[in-house]
Amino acid sequence: MRDQEPLSRPAGPRLSTKEAAELLGVKPETVYAYVSRGQLTSRRAPGGRGSTFDAKEVEALARRNRRDSGGGSGSGGELSVRTRITLIEADRYYFRGVDATELAARHSYEEVAEWLWTGQMRPGATFTAPEAAAAVARRAVDALPEHAAPTDRLRVAAIAAAAADPLRFDLSEEAVLGTARVLIPTLVAALPPVLHDHGDGGPLAHRLWTRLSGRPADEASLRALDTALALLVDHDLAASTLAVRVAASARAHAYAAVSAGLGVIEGPLHGAASGLAHRLLLDVLDQGSAAPVIADELRAGRRIPGLGHRLYPGEDPRARALFGLLEQIPRAEPAFAAAHDIVATTARHAPLHANVDLALAVLTASSGMPAAAGETIFAVARTAGWIAHALEEYGERPLRMRPSGHYVGPRPPQPLPE
């Protein structure tokens, strides 16, 4: 990186790199990133040690960052956060500018996660949980009641892993990436196995399968699960991802940021949506037709799960990619046909396309997995995306995700309550 100096600029107060970073609320490395992007100019400090920055230019950039972040603007519009991670556009979505469905088709979940974090592909990347961390997480999860939901287990595993890591407060990129590569397999290792496996090695999808299904997996099914993980790794500022960025904005460590995401994902409008689609699919398989099942849902005034998406007026690209793999698996044929029946029956009154929750339901129902399995797949997959967003937020001004409340209560002064 080369220091840039304008040909003519009036002399004014100069800031050191540390002072500029404090004013902008970012790390010193980010200050130099602004220089490389042409957003700041720097001048070599006297004596050749470090760089200095024009105070007015730094202040102007700080104001622009606050305005662009949407935090506390009081504009009343939707929160807007600049990100380089995911773009959703015209019924397609992209990870760092690359078509996400093509990435998922050609690369493993671990490789896609590395791309999301670093913008570099690491062929053959695998995530392995240290036995000590996995043992701590397992003991904590084993103490839960038998009826504990998968997200309960994942939250407890994340907290236990955090408590066992004395270096968790190191928010440098290298440290956070190290945490990510250990935390994700630890979450999987902490889930009680349904099928006997041979340790915690190999691709993450293989290890996760043994926690979700009692059936031996064929290669086509494992590929479908691995692709589902890669497709679900991120989806812009979903509710859980926003919670993660708020936590990271307050400089919560990576485990705590992931815990914030896990707390939000349990809602029926987010991670739990695939479970509702799974149960609907089983009802259709039991009845032999979607018509009476859909009729009952509509009569009860319930929304049909697994259909439509607010970000995709047309077809959900994640569903399309996953269905393409599932239709090649013979034992998935009944569930696949039931899903098509649901879409066709509902289309008589609402032309909605299948979304990824319905595709996940076909995968889980045809693989002998419980209804909550889709939520587990979603949470494990999305953890990588949450880490990517936390890393991005650590490079921004602290506490910028702090909008102002619009008070609508009684105007003061009010009398003291009796």
Distance CA 56, CA 19 (A): 13
Distance CA 220, CA 206 (A): 12
What's this model's pTM, rounded to 2 decimal places? 0.81
- DSSP single-letter state for residue 327: T
Mean pLDDT across the chain, nearest whole number? Answer: 90
Distance CA 413, CA 280 (A): 54
Instruction: Give the H/E segment covering residue 53.
Output: strand 51-54
Amino acid present at 234: D
pLDDT at 76 over 90: no
Confidence of residue 374 (pLDDT cuts 50, 70, 90): very high
Sequence-distant (≥ 6) Cβ neighbours of residue 225 within 8 angstroms:
205, 208, 209, 217, 363, 367, 377
Distance CA 53, CA 60 (A): 12
Confidence of residue 69 (pLDDT cuts 50, 70, 90): low
In tens, the pLDDT along 156-182 reads 999 999 999 999 999 999 999 999 999
Distance CA 168, CA 165 (A): 6
Confidence of residue 357 (pLDDT cuts 50, 70, 90): very high
In the block, residue with structure tokens 């936390």:
390
What pLDDT was estimated at residue 187?
Answer: 98
Compute CA distances 127 → 187, 267, 272, 374, 397, whole Å.
11, 28, 26, 21, 31
% of residues, the chain, pLDDT over 90 = 70
What pLDDT was estimated at residue 272?
Answer: 80
pLDDT at 410 over 60: yes
Helices (H), 53-128: 55-69, 100-106, 109-118
Distance CA 158, CA 160 (A): 5
Q: Residues 151, 262: contact at Cβ < 8 Å?
A: yes
Tokens of residue 332, six digits: 């998935």
Distance CA 170, CA 141 (A): 26
14: β partners: 54
In tens, the pLDDT along 187-230 reads 999 999 998 765 666 899 999 999 999 999 999 999 999 999 99
